Amino acid sequence: MDVGVIGDIERLVRCESPSEDLEAVARSAEVVADVGRARLGSEPERIVIEGRTHLRWRFGGRPRVLVLGHHDTVWPVGSLERHPFEVRDGVMRGPGCFDMKAGLVMAFHAIAALDDRSGVTLLVTGDEEPGSPTSRELIEDEARRCEAVLVLEAAGRGGALKTERKGVSRYEVRVTGRAAHAGLDPEKGVNAALEAAHQLVAVAALGGGGTTVTPTTLRAGTTVNTVPAGAVFEVDVRAWTEAEQRRVHAAMMALRPCLDGAAVEVVGGPNRPPLEAGASRELFALAERIADWPLTATAVGGASDGNLTAGIGVATLDGLGAVGGGAHADDEHVLVAELPRRTRLLTGLLGCLLGRNGGLGSVRQDQLSGEALWNHACRD
């Protein structure tokens, strides 16, 4: 494997970038910009929104393909002390290496291998992990300018490309009761914790048929001898289709209190639409024609910024990044041997998409053959 690729990934991993630490994200953006500048020969635009730093490279001409990734991670500063960057026996480890700093380096090297980059936009955001609160509009605006989006999120199990992702909805259920002394006159109170329990059962029952509705965090009360006057819990919803998202949303908004004197308020809604199979079908077929090994596809419950681009109707192929596993977990890792051919695949996809004369289905066979599309994809 090219030492330049390994060294670039190491630089990114060693600059820790937890999403909620704006200073850390800003530092990481500068390291990403430096690595990208070295490989691509050009400076990115720095787009700072509400203190979060995003980077964009545009390579001229009419925008045609958006390459999409993020440099923030879920790992707090100091994680390197417990999980140091290392490469041993062909396995790379380190916080954020799999999700998704290796994918960013792959993007840099793949784009650098193109003879003509005109029409490529590379967008690297700094807030994907918490749901892209500041970058969503930026991502969607860039995608609307293009005909296809290639997402460098980590691959699925066994290296599968991600052709379907569940949509995500998030809710907060706020319960209001009435406080009273738990020993002297509890009957004068309205127990918000008990009302929340009724609501938790009702909410959990909304799942089924592939849709998951999961109550998560829960808070209630103030002291052990007081009937709780307030309670709040959060809900994570994952659905394969927009119709299912709408069904659950309507049911969440229709929640009503069970206890006399209690009140229930629900806030939230869909956060990311599903990435449905149709958005990836033609791009996956193209990738199958380019790859010199059998590709597989997978559907996953986790969401990415690919959900956003597919949701506005732009052809999107996800999971083009590193092969490995353990995202967000102590065993996060990347299989080093897979990096070269995955990078070549990305270069090939870009070359074909930039060279086509019509829609995605009109790519000529002569555009799919030969090492010329990517023979320097992993050069130092």
For every residue of 219-246, DSSP letters joined together read EE-SSTTB--SEEEEEEEEEESSHHHHH
Active-site annotation holds for 2: no
Q: Output the CA–CA distances (angstroms, integers) from residue 266 to 23, 212, 272, in the order listed.
A: 33, 18, 18
DSSP three-state, residue 257: coil
- Compute φ and ψ for 263, nearest 5 degrees: -130, 145
Instruction: Say how many residues make up the chain.
Output: 380
- Compute φ and ψ for 219, nearest 5 degrees: -135, 140
DSSP three-state, residue 214: strand
Q: Which of 10, 128, 142, 153 is catalytic?
A: 128
- Compute φ and ψ for 134, nearest 5 degrees: -100, -20
- Compute φ and ψ for 148, nearest 5 degrees: -155, 150
- Compute φ and ψ for 363, nearest 5 degrees: -65, 130
Looking up tokens 């996953």 gives 300
**What is the distance between the alpha carbons of residues 30 and 75, in angstroms, rounded to a whole number?**
18
**What is the distance between the alpha carbons of residues 37 and 323, in angstroms, rounded to a whole number?**
25
Active-site annotation holds for 128: yes
Q: Which of 72, 127, 195, 305 is catalytic?
A: 72
Residues 6+ apart with CB under 8 A from 277: 163, 164, 299
Quote the tokens at residue 309: 């681009």
**What is the distance between the alpha carbons of residues 288 and 310, in angstroms, rounded to a whole number?**
20
Residues 6+ apart with CB under 8 A from 80: 13, 14, 16, 94, 95
Q: Output the CA–CA distances (angstroms, integers) from residue 151 to 11, 121, 189, 220, 279, in the order listed.
A: 21, 12, 53, 40, 13
- Whether the CB-CB separation of 227 and 190 falls below 8 Å is answered with yes
Quote the tokens at residue 374: 């990517």
Catalytic residues: 72, 128
